[in-house]
């Protein structure tokens, strides 16, 4: 096994021109151009959105909890800005037989630096490599991740006797009290799968080093590979010159998009008539407003007062409340705009503003708001799913919540089946549909503009933020966002009724 000085020397080995990390290695496997840009032109990347950052933070949080599974492990606390110290500290821990596991150990080999989530000492020479993922199953990219780590560890001189992936068991039901780590995590032995990948690594690295030595990035066209396994941060840069009706924006099968691009078809307008398209693809190609004759009766099928309901939820990887499972959505807020036959609209809303389990209050307050009369307009199947889940959790309210489900009326499905506007560009997301039909109303004036950010801000408000003013600001932003979703439905129904020449009863 190398000594500390050898580790430090590895950092400055002359062979590779650029030091890689395991995440850069994985970026290079996804796309050589992505790796090139990450090293030579990182300023061209789109910064991660708040929801993307929250997902990364959630992964970090799961990693911290996973360490409790190895109670005598020692953390290498030095950050990515303190790599020489991290290497030094890791080397000391490797040499200390009293250390049973190392968390975030830093190792370098052939210019590749890895931080290993967990390295467990099995005996005086052999170790077990454990990679922690906040996912529910093993993915191919996790095996590449383990393969590069095991290559670096063995190059360094560590005997890796096993490669394991530790991920969440989404069926684990938290009963309250201490987490049951044996049930919450699944430890899968991936040693054989990782070994099968190891022979390819040298050639993969050589390709990466060669590409990185070039004066310009590799010529690689953006397509579906830019989203697999992760969305590439250079997408905006790579597609900035694409036409507005680029064929990649055709909704539906990525196979068809790829085929069309391979045939040199650049825009949706150039798609030949003989190509078989789905009905939505045909509408996108026709690029014209379309109104089904059934839109009018569907819009008129509602019963007044019409409620317009939307929930906001968060989905913690580590269960936050008793009788929840990893990633199960917990509703913490709802908004209901109630429209009466004379056109007046009343707004009800609920938001849990502290860290207690909000589900019972969400259900009770909602039942009071929707009463027993009228259609309940929603914009997805999600509300149905949440109401059933609330009913399972609250048996005393199950029957009342089932009655609410029976009154749901899905505006999304009505629009999908009976209406199209060219500004939808193939998307029926309310964020696209609203500005297309109600140009004066959108989301870009709001502090919170999507549900993922709402979930992040709610968790910040109830679990982290101590400043009362800031908590009040967040609560206000959450009210405005959820309220916009339900007001949007009121306006969309009105605009659509105008389109078909209908009016309030
Ligand atoms: S957007 Fe696509 S083509 Fe461009 S660097 Fe990323 S993965 Fe490669």
Looking at 186-195, 337-346, 465-474, which range is the least confident one?
465-474
Distances (CA, A) of 193 to 22, 139, 146, 156, 186: 18, 11, 10, 21, 17
CATH of domain 295-499: 3.30.420
Determine the distance separating the centroid of ligand 1 and the alpha carbon of 327, expressed in angstroms: 30
Q: Does residue 136 carry a pLDDT above 80? A: yes
The response to whether residue 238 sits with its C-beta less than 6 Å from ligand 1 reads yes
Per-residue pLDDT at 15: 46
Q: What is the mean pLDDT of residues 11-29?
A: 74
The answer to whether the CB of 226 is under 6 A from ligand 1 is yes
Ligand 1, from 32, 33, 242: best to mutate by most atoms within 8 Å of Cβ?
33
Where do the structural domains in the chain lie, given as residue ranges?
A: 4-213, 242-287, 295-499
At 283-335, the pLDDT tens digits run: 999 999 999 999 999 999 999 999 999 999 999 999 999 999 999 999 999 99
- Residue 232 CA: nearest ligand 1 atom is 6
pLDDT at 205 over 60: yes
Question: Quick one: pLDDT at residue 209?
Answer: 93
For residue 61, give the nearest of 463, 458, 331 by alpha carbon: 463
In this predicted structure, what is the pLDDT of residue 361?
A: 98
User: pLDDT at residue 505 above 80?
Assistant: no
pLDDT at 56: 84
The Cα–Cα gap between 486 and 309 comes to 6
How far is Cα 417 from Cα 280, in angstroms, rounded to an integer? 9
Average pLDDT over residues 63-83: 94
Assess contact for 248 and 53: CB atoms under 8 A: no
Pocket test for ligand 1, best of 222, 230, 240 (most atoms within 8 A of CB): 222
Given a cut of 90, whether residue 386 has pLDDT beyond it is: yes
Beta-bridged to residue 347, according to DSSP, are 337
- The candidate with the shortest Cα–Cα distance to 370, out of 420, 410, 406, is 406
| Phi, psi (rounded to 5 degrees) for 139 | -120, 160
Question: How is domain 4-213 classified at the CATH fold level?
Answer: Lambda Exonuclease; Chain A (3.90.320)
Distance CA 233, CA 180 (A): 37
Query: Is the pLDDT at 58 greater than 90, yes or no?
Result: no
CA angle 283, 285, 287 (to 5 degrees): 70
Q: Report which ligand 1 atom has the smallest distance to the Cα of 223.
A: 2
- The string of pLDDT tens digits covering residues 74-102 is 999 999 899 999 999 999 999 999 999 99
Q: 112 CB contacts (<8 Å, ≥6 apart)?
A: 16, 19, 20, 21, 22, 25, 148, 151, 152, 205
């Amino acid at each position: 096994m190398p000594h500390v000085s050898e580790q430090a020397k590895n950092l400055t080995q002359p062979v590779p021109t650029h030091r890689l990390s395991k995440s850069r290695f994985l970026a290079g496997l996804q796309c050589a151009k992505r790796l090139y840009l990450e090293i030579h032109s990182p300023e061209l990347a789109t910064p991660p959105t708040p929801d993307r950052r929250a997902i990364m933070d959630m992964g970090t949080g799961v990693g911290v909890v996973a360490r409790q599974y190895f109670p005598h492990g020692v953390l290498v606390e030095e950050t990515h800005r303190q790599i020489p110290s991290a290497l030094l500290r890791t080397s000391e821990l490797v040499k200390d037989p009293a250390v049973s596991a190392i968390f975030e150990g830093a190792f370098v080999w052939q210019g590749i630096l890895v931080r290993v989530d967990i390295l467990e000492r099995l005996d005086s020479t052999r170790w077990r490599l454990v990679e922690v993922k906040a996912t529910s199953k093993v993915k191919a990219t996790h095996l590449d991740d383990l393969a590069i780590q095991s290559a670096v560890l063995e190059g360094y001189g560590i005997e890796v006797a096993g490669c394991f992936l530790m991920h969440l068991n989404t069926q684990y039901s938290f009963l309250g009290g201490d987490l049951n780590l044996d049930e919450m995590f699944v430890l899968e032995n991936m040693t054989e799968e990782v070994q099968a990948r190891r022979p390819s690594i040298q050639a993969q690295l050589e390709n990466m080093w060669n590409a990185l030595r070039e004066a310009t990035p590799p010529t690689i066209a953006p397509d579906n590979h830019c989203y697999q396994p992760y969305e590439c941060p250079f997408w905006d840069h790579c597609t900035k010159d694409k036409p507005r009706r680029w064929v990649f924006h055709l909704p539906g099968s990525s196979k068809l998009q790829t085929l069309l691009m391979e045939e040199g078809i650049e825009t949706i307008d150039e798609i030949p008539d003989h190509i078989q398209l789905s009905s939505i693809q045909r509408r996108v190609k026709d690029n014209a407003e379309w109104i089904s004759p059934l839109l009018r009766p569907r819009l008129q099928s509602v019963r007044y007062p019409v409620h317009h309901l939307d929930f906001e939820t968060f989905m913690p990887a580590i269960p936050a409340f008793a009788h929840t499972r990893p990633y199960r959505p917990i509703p913490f807020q709802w908004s209901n705009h109630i429209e009466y036959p004379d056109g007046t609209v009343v707004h009800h809303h609920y938001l849990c503003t502290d860290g207690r389990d909000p589900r019972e209050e969400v259900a009770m307050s909602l039942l009071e708001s929707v009463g027993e009369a009228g259609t309940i307009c929603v914009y997805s199947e999600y509300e149905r799913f949440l109401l059933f889940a609330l009913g399972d959790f609250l048996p005393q309210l199950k029957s009342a919540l089932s009655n609410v489900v029976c009154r749901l009326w899905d505006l999304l499905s009505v629009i999908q089946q009976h209406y199209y506007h060219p500004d939808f560009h193939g998307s029926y997301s309310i964020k696209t549909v609203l500005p297309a039909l109600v140009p004066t109303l959108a989301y870009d004036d709001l502090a919170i503009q999507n549900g993922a950010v709402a979930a992040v801000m709610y968790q910040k408000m109830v679990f982290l933020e101590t400043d009362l003013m800031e908590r009040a600001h967040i609560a206000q932003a959450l009210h405005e966002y959820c309220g916009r979703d339900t007001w949007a439905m009121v306006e969309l129904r009105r605009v659509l009724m105008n389109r078909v020449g209908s009016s309030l009863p």
